[in-house]
Amino acid sequence: MNEFALIDWIRGQAGPATSGVSLGIGDDAAVLALAPGESLVVTTDTLNSGVHFGDYDPADSVGHKALAVNLSDLAAMGAAPRWFLLSLSLPKDSDAWVKAFVGGLLGLARTMNVALVGGDTTAGKLSVTVTALGATRQGRFLSRDGARPGDWVVVSGELGDAALALQELSRGRSPDPSGVEKLRRPIPRVELGATLVGNATACIDLSDGLLADLGHIAGSSGCGAVVEADRLPGSESLRSCPVEVRRALQLTGGDDYELCFTWPEARRDELAGIESDLGLKLSVVGRMVEGRGIRCLDSDGQPLAFEKQGYSHRL
């Protein structure tokens, strides 16, 4: 399939323009409209073959994840997803792969009510870039820089299953299917992010590992944090791992795409109410403190050390 045939096919799969799209796929640029009083929130992520996904990953799951990781960024800002752009670098003879990829991508797009409005295609090594656009009310968004000493550190969902699945897949083993699902098809916590606006003091999505990502909140907020490793929420499968392995996966493994946020202790009842309303586990795993850096403690209050804080690309 040549470039323009592929674009026409993708446009047909994406369907008609949705609300706010004055001009979508097919022109030199998309024309989009925000409602009065809204601000635009923009994020982008690239997934490269051999780095972010492998030959063992089905193409439809790569499509799902390529969009999901961007929507997770919007969730961490408290933004409502609206539109996205897709750029593809494809090797020869990729027709079957790209059709499955687009199926997974647009499946999530329909679920999250977000519209594909343009992008780019080129020949080259297999690589995917998605740029997602969302909206918030002006001045109403989440950021990393509002945490204060005494705030609770809270995480959504369960941590470590995706990292365990990736570790097992890379070793040629068969991981627990639920862990593979979390790795390949993360669920962006968009509803939680919207609920946290005006309530949480800081927020970030967990892509590179809890210690690394919480470190970004601490650094931006000018304070430190203490994490209680044995309070981290995990599945039964993960809890069957040796404790040292479990801690490393949960604290530094990454690929969770849950939200980590800080919350004033005095508002504990409201936090419990959000957990109940959303039907989503929210776990207090530590506290922001005076000073700098992240300290991690076991259940006896003894310090824990790890070789790395989380994932980081070597550039």
- 229 exposure class (CB count in 10 Å sphere: 0-12, 13-18, 19+): buried
Q: Which region holds residue 172: left if phi is over 0, alpha if psi is between -120 and 50, else beta?
A: left
Please name each of the domains of the chain with its CATH number: 3-137 (3.30.1330.10), 152-302 (3.90.650.10)
What string of H, E and C letters represents the secondary structure of the chain? CCHHHHHHHHHHHHCCCCCCEEECECECCCEECCCCCEEEEEEEEEEEECCCECCCCCHHHHHHHHHHHHHHHHHHCCCEEEEEEEEEEECCCCHHHHHHHHHHHHHHHHHHCCEEEEEEEEECCCEEEEEEEEEEECCCCCCCCCCCCCCEEEEECCCCHHHHHHHHHHCCCCCCHHHHHHHHCCCCCHHHHHHHCCCCCEEEECCCCHHHHHHHHHHHHCCEEEEEHHHCCCCHHHHCCCHHHHHHHHHHCCCCCCEEEEECHHHHHHHHHHHHHHCCCEEEEEEEECCCCEEEECCCCCEECCCCCCCCCCC
| In contact, 134 and 74? CB cutoff 8 Å | yes
pTM listed for this prediction: 0.95
pLDDT tens string, the chain, 315 residues long: the values are: 788 889 999 999 998 878 899 999 989 999 999 999 999 999 999 999 988 998 889 999 999 999 999 999 999 999 999 999 999 999 998 999 999 999 999 999 999 999 999 999 999 999 999 999 999 999 999 999 999 999 999 999 999 999 999 999 989 888 999 999 999 999 999 999 999 999 999 999 999 999 999 999 999 999 999 999 999 999 998 999 999 999 999 999 999 999 999 999 999 999 999 999 999 999 999 999 999 999 999 999 999 988 766 554 454
| Structure token pair of residue 107 | 């499946």
| Structure token pair of residue 51 | 């780095």
